[in-house]
Structure 1
C-alpha cells in the first residue's frame, strides 16, 4: 500500500497518553505530547541533551501508525550510526508488536492481530544516512551512467587509490608538501570536502582562478595586500595545484567501478536533484520521514533530502518530515556539516508554515548540574541559528551537587578524579564518565 492509495484519517483516534498507558510506559511530558501528536506535516524539533529524543521519535512513529497516517513500512527513519538506527528500530518494532498483540492497532498491511500473532510483518525502514544513499545509488545509478554495483572503498582502499595517482604525478606539488603521504592526505581530504559540498574539480578550479584574479587586480591598482591575504593566496594556489590530481583520482575510481562514502552521498544527491522521478518514488514509498541528528547533515545530505521530500506546493501541508537536532551538539563540521541546516529546514521543507518545537526537559541530570550547564551555554543560545530553550530538570530530579578543584598537575587531577569515582561507586553509583580537555590527557584519564 502506498501513501497515495491510503486515504487520510479524519483525525487521530488514540492519543499519545493512551498509547503510553497501553504499553505501560510513562505519560509523555507536554513537550513530548506536542511533538508526538503533531499533524503529519513538516516539523523541526530542537532537542537538548538527555531530553528523551529517541524515546520521543519512537513514540512519534507509533502514534502515526496507530492513527492510520502511515503503515509501518511507509515510515523512514535516518540517523548517523548503525547503533542509533538499531536502537530506534528496536524501540519502534517492540512497541508496534505490543500494540498489535493488545489489539490496539491492526497488524501490518491491515491484517488482524490474530493473523499476525503479534508480529508486524513489514517494519519501518530505519537506516543510516549513508546506507540510505547507497540504496538510492544501487537502484538509480544507471540514470547517470554509473554502475549500480560500484565497490564501496574503505578508508585504506581510498588512500591507496589516491596514493597511486600522487606517486605517478609529475606536476608541481611542492607547496602541498614534500612527502607523497602528505600530498595523498591532502587529496583525500579535499576530495571528501568537495563531495560533501557537491563541488566538482572544474568548479573548484574556476572559483580559485577567479579569486586569484581579483587579488591581482587589487595589487595592480597599487594597493598592497595584507600579510594574511598573501598567506591565503599562497594556500589557495597550493589547493589549485591539486585540481589535476583530483581529476585523475576521480577518473581512477570511476574506471575501477569504485566510490567512497562521500562519492556515494554526492551521487545520490545528484540523482535526486536531476531526476524528479526518484523523489516521486521515495515519497510514494515513505509517507512519513524522521531525520535524526539533523544538525550534522552536510550540504550534500540537505540537498538530497530536500530534493526527495520537499513539499510539492507552497500552499500544501508538505510531506510529513520530522527533523530532530540540537545546534549545541554539532560534531561533524570537519566534513562539511553545519548546524545552520536547522535554520534552513523551515525554508527548504516548509509549505504554509513549519512548526519548530522544543524538547528541553532532560532526564540525565539534577538541578544544580543543569543550572551550571545553562549558564555556560548561554552565549551559545544567544547565537544559535534556531531558538534553543534552556534545559530544565525532570520532575523527579534531585538537587545535585557540583564540586570544583584546582590541582597543580594533570597526575594530581587524575588521582583526585579516580578517588572521587571510587567514593561514588562505594555509595552505590552505577556509572560515571570522565571528560578530558585534550587527547593527550586520555592516558591519565584511562588510568583513573
Structure 2
C-alpha cells in the first residue's frame, strides 16, 4: 500500500527528481535553477521517506523561509498523501517553538513577546533619544538594519563594540548594547533573536542539542543556498555528525 502511494506522485517527477526523492544513506544537496521544482521535490522526498518507513513523521523537520512556502508544502503533502507532517515551518517559527520550551536556559522569560518591525523601530528611537543621538544624522532604520545583520552573523553587542570602526559603527555599537538590555527588561525578543538565542542555547547546552538531534532524524531545508550564518549554524548543529 505504501509503495503504491509513493509511486503515484513519483510519476509526476523526472528522472533526476526521482533520484533525489528516493536517495538514502547520505546527506543530499539539490542544485537546480529557479522554477525547476526544487521545493516540490523536497516535499515529495519528505513524503516518500515517511511512507516507506525510513523516518517517522514527527522525526522529520522541513524548514523554509516564508510562511507562504510552509503553507504550500503542507497543502501539497495533504493533497498527495493525507499525511500530517507536524514539523513543517519557517526557520523563525521552528526556533520560536524551541525557545518557548527552553527560554529560561538563555535568560529569557517563557512568555516573551516577539517584537515586530514597528516595535523594534520604536525601541531604537527611544534609545536614540535616551542617548541624545540625532535621528536626522543617524537613521534609526539604518541602525536597526546593522543590528539585524550583526545578529545574523552571530555577533554579540560586546563583539560588535570591539569590531566597530568609524562614527556610524560606534553609534550602532552603543545602540545595540542598550537595545539588548531593554529587550531583556521588557521581556521581548526581535525576529533575529529567535535564531540567535537558539544557536546560543545549542552551543551552551549540549545536552539540549542532543535532545533535538535525536528528535529530528531527517532535516530538509528549502532554498538552502539562501541561508545566512545563523541559519546555517543551526542546521549544522541540529544535523550533528550525520
Indicate whether the TM-score tops 0.5. yes
Secondary structure at 1:242's aligned position in 2?
Answer: helix
**Alignment partners' CA distance in 1, 2:199 and 2:130:** 32
- Residue 23 (structure 2) pairs with residue 93 (structure 1): no
Q: 1:158: how far off? A: 0.7
Instruction: Return the match for 2:123 from 161, 168, 186.
Output: 161
Q: CA deviation at 1:283?
A: 2.2
Aligned-partner Cα distance in 2 for 1:74–1:40: 16
Distance, in Å, in 1 between the alignment partners of 2:156 and 2:52 is 46
SS of residue in 1 equivalent to 2:42: helix
Match of 1:204 in 2: 160
1:287-334 alpha-carbon deviations (Å, 9 max, x no partner): 2111011122111111112112121xxxxxx1xxxxxxxxxxxxxxxx
- Residues 254 and 28 (structure 1), Cα distance of their counterparts in 2 relative to 1, 3 Å cut: same
1:50 partner SS: coil
1:140 equivalent in alignment to 2:125: no
Structure 2 SS opposite 1:47: coil
Partner of 1:50: 35
The CA deviation string for residues 180-237 of structure 1, in whole angstroms up to 9 with x for no partner, is 58432232112111111111122122223xxx6xxxxxxxxxxxxxxxxxxxxxxx33
Q: Is 1:68 aligned to 2:53, yes or no?
A: yes
CA–CA distance in structure 2, aligned partners of residues 123 and 249 of structure 1 = 37
Moved over 3 A (4+): 18-23, 178-183
Higher helix share: 2
Larger Rg: 1
Q: Secondary structure at the match of 1:46?
A: coil
Structure 2, unmatched stretches of 5+, are: none
Say whether the 8 Å CA contact 1:279–1:309 is kept in structure 2: no
Cα deviation 1:389-418 (Å, max 9, x = unaligned): xxxxxxxxxxxxxxxxxxxxxxxxxxxxxx
Distance 1:27 1:186 in 2: 46
> The residue matched to 1:127 in structure 2 has which SS?
strand
Q: How far 1:265 moved relative to its partner?
A: 1.3
2:141 aligns with 185
Deviation at 1:40, TM superposition (A): 4.3
TM-score (norm 1): 0.51
1:41-98 CA distance string (max 9 Å, x none): 311111211111222112211211122111222221110111110111111233233x
Where does residue 305 of structure 1 map in the other structure? 235
How many equivalent residue pairs? 241
Contact 2:60 2:219 in 1 (8 A): yes
Alpha-carbon distance in 2 for matches of 1:62, 1:201: 42
- Could you state the TM-score of these two structures normalised by the residue count of structure 2? 0.91
Q: How far did residue 32 of structure 1 move? A: 0.8
Q: Which has the higher contact order (CA 8 A, sep 6+)?
A: 2
Q: Distance in 2 between matches of 1:242 and 1:268?
A: 24
